[in-house]
């Protein structure tokens, strides 16, 4: 029966550490980065009038790759494998375009 107390202690410690400025900034970055990446895909797709090659996107290592995968899995971006000028390319879906348009 000591487990709830340990979990409460862990949660309190995690909350305390999450208030440290660098960790709070990281938390904000994790929250905002997917939106910035979605907007980048939408803007480039509009300019190109077609798929956006992966090499033209500004990816933060690991975070960028994870974020684009999440956008694909969430239905905001479609991954295209058959684009002749890129290994991978991306197009915003209607859902992704709608979300981006709601911010303009």
Q: What residue numbers bound the domain in which 56 lies?
A: 3-101
Please write the tens of the pLDDT for every residue from 73-104.
Answer: 999 999 999 888 888 999 999 999 999 999 87
Length of the chain: 104
Instruction: Indicate the number of domains in the chain.
Output: 1
Given this model, what pLDDT does residue 89 score? 95
Given this model, what pLDDT does residue 35 score? 95
Please write the tens of the pLDDT for every residue from 42-69.
Answer: 999 999 999 999 999 988 888 899 999 9
Q: Are strands 89-92 and 52-53 parallel, antiparallel or unpaired?
A: antiparallel
What average pLDDT does range 5-28 have in this prediction? 88
Q: What is the pTM assigned to this prediction?
A: 0.80
Please report, for the domain that includes residue 27, its CATH number: 1.10.10.10
Given this model, what pLDDT does residue 4 score? 62
């Amino acid at each position: 029966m000591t487990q709830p107390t340990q979990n409460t202690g862990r949660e309190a410690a995690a909350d305390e550490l999450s208030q440290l400025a660098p960790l709070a900034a990281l938390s904000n970055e994790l929250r905002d980065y997917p939106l910035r990446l979605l907007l980048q895909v939408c803007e480039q797709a509009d300019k190109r009038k077609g798929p956006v090659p992966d090499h033209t996107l500004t990816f933060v290592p690991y975070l960028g790759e994870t974020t684009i995968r999440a956008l694909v899995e969430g239905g905001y971006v479609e991954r295209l494998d058959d684009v002749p000028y890129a290994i991978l390319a991306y197009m915003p879906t209607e859902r992704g375009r709608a979300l981006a348009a709601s911010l303009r």
